[in-house]
Amino acid sequence: MKFDTPATTNPIDQLKVVGKPTNRIEGPLKTTGTAPYAYEHQDFAATQAYGYVVGSAIAKGKIASMNLDEAKAAPGVLAIVTAANAGKLGKGDFNNATLLGGPGIEHYHQAVALVVAGSFEQARAAASLVRVEYTRDKGAYDLSATVGTAGKAPVLYGNQPDTAVGDFASAFAAAPVQLDARYSTPDHAHAMMEPHASIASWEGDKLTVWTSNQMIAWSAGDVAKTLGLPKENVRLLSPYVGGGFGGKLYVRADAILAALGAKATKRPVKVALQRPLMMNNTPHRPATIQRIRLGATPDGKLTAIGHESWSGDLNAAKPEGAVAQTRLLYAGANRMTAMRIAALDLAEGNDMRAPGEAPGMMALEVAMDEMAEKLGLDPVQFRILNDTQVDPEAPSRPFTQRQLNKCLQMGAEKFGWSKRGKPASTRDGKWLVGMGVAAAFRNNLNANSAARVRLSSAGIVTVETDMTDIGTGSYTIIAQTAAEMMGVPLDNVVVKLGDSSFPVSSGSGGQWGANSSTAGVYAACVKLREAAAQKLGLNPADAVFADGKVKVGRRSFALGDAAKDGELVAEDRIEFGKLAEEKQQSTFGAHFVEVGVDSATGEVRIRRMLAVCAAGRILNPKAARSQVIGGMTMGAGAALMEELAVDKRFGFFVNHDLAGYEVPVHADIPYQEVIFLDETDPNTSPMKAKGVGELGICGVAAAVANAVYNATGARVRSYPITLDKFIDKLPEMT
Amino acid sequence: MKSFTYERVDTPAAATAAFARTKGSRYIAGGTNLLDLMKLEIETPAHLIDISRLALDRIEPTSGGGLRIGAMVRNTDLASDERIRRDYGLVSRALVAGASGQLRNKATMGGNILQRTRCPYFYDTNQPCNKRQPGSGCAAIGGFNRILAVIGASDACIATQPSDVGVALRALDASVETVNVTGKTRVIPYADFYRAPGETPHIETALVPGELITAVTLPRPVGGTHVYHKVRDRASYAFALISVGLVVQRDGTGRVALGGVAYKPWRVEAAEADLPRGAKAVTAKLLAGAKTTHENAYKLPLVERTLAGVLAQAKG
Ligand SMILES: Cc1cc2nc3c(=O)[nH]c(=O)nc-3n(C[C@H](O)[C@H](O)[C@H](O)COP(=O)(O)OP(=O)(O)OC[C@H]3O[C@@H](n4cnc5c(N)ncnc54)[C@H](O)[C@@H]3O)c2cc1C
Ligand code: SF4
């Protein structure tokens, strides 16, 4: 099904099932421990062997020698895979560093060996007996040292490294009110609960991998490419994913090494990356240094908007697109953005929840707060004043929908924004209290997505698509979609996901999954409705699917009757046309945060958070709320504690476990509220929905930062905002 | 993890005898620290002696009017004991500021004060670390050391001792009771329990090999208001950047000990005379001779401010 004109009325608009706050259909499996995650899959339990990964002890250089004798002689060891014996390996389209290092070493904890043994404990014990001698090369690990010398970034998702509209330099120079500030965001870890894990098994030259991955088709392709197999020989299964946040978009070492280990031992092999390896072995969100210049008239109209961002990556491959939102968020005639990238020899940087916008908004929305203060304007009003209903770089392109102002206004009212005092003026006992606001913004992306639907004589509808559910609720919204389309209760829908033998979906990433994958299911269901109606001798255009029945006038059949002579199967794909080029599709919101700062110690504790979101039709308010509060929690972490600490001498992230890399715990997040505006956007798909999973994180950290400023009067421009950065600016203790 | 043998013992005598019998022995109590370190091969005992079921799980009055806390008393049980909460509030508050409910259910009195540093380089066996591998160097000096020591450290090691309850024990003049492999018992003042790193940061306590902690004793209650403030980046489940344990009397006199600044809970009795004069005066003496790095210099003003804060809180 082509989607190239805005949607009109369709069966989804009935909203009998879609749009209802529905519990996760796979929830009971997860809460009872019966949903098999990659490492827990039992098909091969009787024969499987265990792999343990050895990570490089240096960041850059070469393996001078490797002695495997002791490890090979250790109890239970079946095989040791290294680059020297693995045969020629390709590199996946989505990989930057190779997944098995040697002799060249590209980053710390790059896998250099997999020890396979009969038990996990044996493999782990033997792994420490692999003796590796390295020759170190000098590497570059310090992003701040590269500012000034870094080169232009490559084009990123269609974004040019340099953009310019009007004459920024002159307009900024002439602006009566100016802001020129630098911000920095650190490297972040995805830190998902489930580590990267795979079980691989060969049958002849056919490979099956149970893994934990967000993008099945991409990754099946990259496994095939890396191992030199035809794609059809690779089957990837990832029915349950214990969190990804972008860290599982691409194939990682666990999958490739499990496959190589299984080949070497002729047994199924399972591999999970050990937690202390994950931070340096797998990608992270790259640190940024950002410079923002804003010029405004005294009455608060922006006339010049400039945003530059520096980031680093292995081989200078991929920038963090922190300027992306600045091209679209506020009006202003003269604008420029620039992305620069340096080659760093840390592990590769890559996508993490709202890549680009998350760190970009951390800077931009603090700059807006600073500018509002310079102008003597309320930061809510300042944003409203600079709203735009069209793409500011191409005014003939309107936004399909943009209710940012309403989000801000409603949020301000619900949150009690009018009670916000001047900086460092509000106290509650020992606590300095402050409020902060930031806009939320993330583009809506769509990706072609296919599904197959089956109808049984019992009236059961089964959906098959390689879509993944990374804890987001895909199972549930897909079931809701099929139930709505086929007129059956939710219980009569079975959803099967995450199998590369199923039709290729959008996968989970870039907050495109919910709208795209359900639209694919919609398309397949339209075909199934036609087939069912025809089978029952009804005119498909007149047939009404409701209450488990198909009716035209007084003629009524049980839906299952259409499959009396055998299962009906339909498959289709939603293919997105050029609508997104004609009009800009984005999601909007406003974050409000209240913090208390201990006047003695500077400890920042969040007291309340509110998000108001405008993101098209909300397919399942319960799941969407979970997504947004998860994003808010992650944003709170980015604001206050998350930082991969770089050792600039040895070139690695030092705090590489969950004790050292702190993410928020319950005590950090006392109260959260989420409001969704009632929207439908016919431009996005027949579902009229957009993404929310990444909108929730965008802007949160800035709202926290602005609240800390309002509480203390101390502006911290380098994240995370830890007490050591402003303790000298706190009021004297008497 | 290296393979090891395992036995469970029923009496302290059996424990020390087992230790004497098997080379490479190690006691295991709650296992919450030791097992993590074994998985990373930072600790590589050949033999584990499980002491978790020794009958050292009682809290009893001492003849001197104090309390004897058996070495196997779980952190949760200790924190919730009525006598501890009433008379030694600092102990209870410090305990619940640490770890998590699940960990405190397993963690024991003896194991807690023997938990090892949280220096991140200590945990990474690729990195030089004099504490883990004597003579290999110290990666933390000149590296990421924001959480590490500002006083009492050496050029060989700037690690901190991370126990929260240790701060309370130090402020309250606790002692450690032990028995060694020859059956000899002794009492070590907690003030003398930890050894300064000097050139030998791998030797952390006054215990000799095989010496078993049987109890920690607290002298008679000192009264006063007990406040424990643990400063950390996240609100729970994090080790202290610094912590302050304070006992203050109505007349303004009192005692104070610090966590997160040194290889041991840090207390300077001579500084306490200045408590009535306020945090600045006390901190100046308490942290005299401090040596900070670029990353952890914030700890000095932080100690002073936190102490000022808890003094204000204690006044109510
Ligand atoms: C995630 C996490 C967070 C934590 N957070 C905190 C925190 O915030 N604050 C805090 O204070 N602590 C914290 N801890 C540490 C925790 O308190 C200790 O792990 C625990 O107290 C150790 O007690 P255990 O009985 O489990 O000791 P074990 O792990 O069993 O033993 C530790 C050491 O003591 C030795 N040992 C034990 N008992 C005896 C004895 N009777 N005689 C001689 N030697 C003995 C063992 O041989 C071993 O070397 C945390 C731990 C974890 C894992
Ligand atoms: S500070 Fe001590 S524990 Fe840390 S690396 Fe240096 S020697 Fe090792």
Tens-digit pLDDT profile for residues A25-46: 999 999 999 999 999 998 888 9
Give the strand pairing for A568-576 and A555-558.
unpaired
Can you read off the two tokens belonging to residue A480?
Answer: 């809701």
Our answer on whether the CB atom of B107 is closer than 6 Å to any ligand 1 atom is: yes
Q: Please, which pLDDT band fits residue A149 given cuts at 50, 70 and 90?
A: confident
Quote the mean pLDDT of chain A.
97
- The pLDDT assigned to A242 comes to 96
Give the end-to-end CA distance of chain B in Å, rounded to a whole number: 51
- The pLDDT assigned to A44 comes to 87
Ligand nearest to the CA of B36: 1
**Whole-angstrom Cα distance, residue A555 to residue A562?**
14
**Closest Cα partner for A354 from A256, A475, A441, A472?**
A441
- The pLDDT assigned to B50 comes to 98
Can you read off the two tokens belonging to residue A151?
Answer: 């080169």
| Chain A residues near residue B231 by CB distance under 8 angstroms | 601, 603, 723
Q: What is the DSSP letter of A723?
A: G
The CA distance from B165 to the nearest CA of chain A, in Å, is 19
- The pLDDT assigned to A719 comes to 98
**Whole-angstrom Cα distance, residue A202 to residue A198?**
13
- The pLDDT assigned to A148 comes to 80
- The pLDDT assigned to A734 comes to 74
| Chain B residues near residue A126 by CB distance under 8 angstroms | none
- The pLDDT assigned to A472 comes to 96
Of the candidates A121, A650, A667, the beta carbon closest to that of B235 is on A667
Cβ–Cβ below 8 Å for B233 and A641: yes
Give residue for tokens 């804003």: A294
- Phi/psi region, residue A108 (left: phi>0; alpha: psi -120 to 50; beta: rest), is beta
**Whole-angstrom Cα distance, residue B230 to residue A311?**
35
* pLDDT per residue of chain B (316 residues) written in tens, 0 to 9: 899 999 999 999 999 999 999 999 999 999 999 999 999 999 999 999 999 999 999 999 999 999 999 999 999 999 999 999 999 999 999 999 999 999 999 999 999 999 999 999 999 999 999 999 999 999 999 999 999 999 999 999 999 999 999 999 999 999 999 999 999 999 999 999 999 999 999 999 999 999 999 999 999 999 999 999 999 999 999 999 999 999 999 999 999 999 999 999 999 999 999 999 999 999 999 999 999 999 999 999 999 999 999 999 998 7
Residue A115 backbone dihedrals phi, psi, to 5 degrees: -95, 125
pLDDT in tens, A324-349: 999 999 999 999 999 999 999 999 99
Protein residue with least CA distance to atom 2, ligand 2 = B157
Contact assessment for residue B139 and residue B129, using Cβ atoms and an 8 Å cutoff: yes
Ligand nearest to the CA of B124: 2
| Chain A residues near residue B279 by CB distance under 8 angstroms | 733
Contact assessment for residue A567 and residue A531, using Cβ atoms and an 8 Å cutoff: no
- The pLDDT assigned to B316 comes to 79
Quote the ligand 1 centre to B35 CA distance (angstroms): 10
| Chain B residues near residue A667 by CB distance under 8 angstroms | 234-237
What b/e readout covers A174-208, taking b as 16+ CB neighbours within 10 angstroms?
Answer: ebebebebebbbbbbbbbbebbbbbbbbbeeeebb
Mean pLDDT within A250-272: 98
Cβ–Cβ below 8 Å for B233 and A720: yes
Q: Give yes or no for a cis peptide into A359 (omega within 30° of 0).
A: no
Our answer on whether the CB atom of B194 is closer than 6 Å to any ligand 2 atom is: no
Can you read off the two tokens belonging to residue B135?
Answer: 């003579």
Our answer on whether the CB atom of B161 is closer than 6 Å to any ligand 1 atom is: no
- The pLDDT assigned to B94 comes to 98
ipTM associated with this complex:
0.97
Can you read off the two tokens belonging to residue A494?
Answer: 């079975």
- The contacts of residue A665 (CB under 8 Å, 6+ apart) are B234, B235, B236, B237
Q: Which of A26, A348, A643, A694 is catalytic?
A: A694
Q: Please, which pLDDT band fits residue A669 given cuts at 50, 70 and 90?
A: very high
Our answer on whether the CB atom of B259 is closer than 6 Å to any ligand 1 atom is: no
**Whole-angstrom Cα distance, residue A201 to residue A62?**
31
**Whole-angstrom Cα distance, residue A626 to residue A473?**
9
**Closest Cα partner for B310 from A598, A162, A303, A259?**
A598
| Chain A residues near residue B124 by CB distance under 8 angstroms | 276, 654, 656
| Chain A residues near residue B232 by CB distance under 8 angstroms | 603
Our answer on whether the CB atom of B33 is closer than 6 Å to any ligand 1 atom is: yes
The DSSP element (H or E) to which A535 belongs, if any, is helix A513-535
Q: Which residue of chain B comes nearest to A129, CA vs CA?
A: B2
Our answer on whether the CB atom of B89 is closer than 6 Å to any ligand 1 atom is: no
Q: What is the DSSP letter of A578?
A: S
Q: Does B46 touch chain A (CB under 8 A)?
A: no
pLDDT in tens, A592-639: 999 999 999 999 999 999 999 999 999 999 999 999 999 999 999 999
CA A291 to chain centre: 25
**Whole-angstrom Cα distance, residue A548 to residue A556?**
10
Is residue A694 among the annotated active site residues?
Answer: yes
Mean pLDDT within A257-270: 98
Question: How many interchain CB pairs under 8 A, A with B?
Answer: 109
Our answer on whether the CB atom of B139 is closer than 6 Å to any ligand 2 atom is: yes
- Phi/psi region, residue A688 (left: phi>0; alpha: psi -120 to 50; beta: rest), is left
Q: Give me the torsion for CA of A69, A73, A77, A78, rounded to 10°.
A: 70
The residue among B3, B102, B234 with the most chain A CBs within 10 A of its CB, best to mutate, is B234
Q: Does A430 touch chain B (CB under 8 A)?
A: yes
Mean pLDDT within A535-557: 96
Give the strand pairing for A586-598 and A604-614.
antiparallel
Which ligand 2 atom is the nearest neighbour of the CA of B158?
Answer: 1
**Whole-angstrom Cα distance, residue A271 to residue A261?**
9
Cβ–Cβ below 8 Å for A645 and B2: no
Our answer on whether the CB atom of B140 is closer than 6 Å to any ligand 2 atom is: yes
Q: Which residue of chain A comes nearest to B229, CA vs CA?
A: A601
**Closest Cα partner for A236 from A258, A257, A212, A220?**
A220
Quote the ligand 2 centre to B8 CA distance (angstroms): 33
Q: Does B142 touch chain A (CB under 8 A)?
A: yes
Question: Residue by residue, what is the 3-state secondary structure of chain B?
Answer: CCCCEEEECCCHHHHHHHHHHCCCEEEECCCCCHHHHHHCCCCCCCEEEECCCCCCCCEEECCCCCEEEECCCEHHHHHHCHHHHHHCHHHHHHHHCCCCHHHHHHCEHHHHHHCCCCCCCCCCCCCCECCCCCCCCECCCCCCCCCCCCCCCCCCCCCCCCCCHHHHHHHCCCEEEEECCCCCEEEEEHHHCECCCCCCCCCCECCCCCCEEEEEEECCCCCCEEEEEEECCCCCCCCCCEEEEEEECCCCCEEEEEECCCCCCECCHHHHCCHHHCHHHHHHHHCCCCCCCCCCCCHHHHHHHHHHHHHHHHHC
The DSSP element (H or E) to which A710 belongs, if any, is helix A700-712
Protein residue with least CA distance to atom 6, ligand 2 = B138
**Whole-angstrom Cα distance, residue B140 to residue B145?**
6
**Closest Cα partner for A438 from A616, A670, A705?**
A705
Mean pLDDT within A158-176: 96
**Whole-angstrom Cα distance, residue B89 to residue B110?**
19
Contact assessment for residue A580 and residue A398, using Cβ atoms and an 8 Å cutoff: no
* Amino acid letter, residue A630: G
Contact assessment for residue A324 and residue A357, using Cβ atoms and an 8 Å cutoff: yes
pLDDT in tens, A43-83: 888 999 999 999 999 999 999 999 999 999 999 999 999 99
Q: Give me the torsion for CA of A53, A59, A61, A63, rounded to 10°.
A: -20
Strand partners, A588: A441, A614
The CA distance from A474 to the nearest CA of chain B, in Å, is 32
The CA distance from B2 to the nearest CA of chain A, in Å, is 5
Q: Does B182 touch chain A (CB under 8 A)?
A: no
Residue A46 backbone dihedrals phi, psi, to 5 degrees: -70, -30
List all residues of chain A from 644 to 683 with a beta carbon under 8 Å from chain B: 645-647, 649-650, 654-657, 659-660, 662, 664-668
